[in-house]
Amino acid sequence: MLPQTDVSDHLRVLREAGLVETEPCGRLTYYRLFPEPLQAASARLAELAAANETARAQTRKRACP
């Protein structure tokens, strides 16, 4: 379990990065996740992984003497 201050710090970073929005409600703050940036990041990471796999498959290894 994380301390409240750590959770608040992480949520602040996510908010500043545009991944969540906040809705104050009295003493509470509700957080809502924006799925679009995460989906875009996921798609880009999948592209990079596929390109890396292709590059690795094309790399020839030297035969051991």
pTM of the entire structure? Answer: 0.62
Determine, yes or no, domain membership for 46. Answer: yes
Mean pLDDT, residues 55-64 taken together: 73
Determine, yes or no, domain membership for 3. Answer: no
Percent of the chain with pLDDT over 70: 92
Cα–Cα distances in angstroms (integers) from residue 54 to residues 43, 50, 57, in the given order:
17, 6, 5
Q: Does residue 61 come out as left (phi exceeding 0), alpha (psi in the -120 to 50 range) or beta?
A: beta
Dump pLDDT digits (tens) for 16-39.
999 999 999 999 999 999 999 999
Determine, yes or no, domain membership for 41. Answer: yes
Asked if residues 32 and 21 have their Cβ atoms less than 8 Å apart, the reply is yes
Q: Does position 3 have pLDDT exceeding 80, yes or no?
A: yes
Give the range of the structural domain holding residue 42, as residue numbers without chain letter: 11-58
Band of residue 62 on the pLDDT scale cut at 50, 70, 90? low
What's the structural domain count of the chain?
Answer: 1
| Averaged confidence pLDDT in the chain | 90
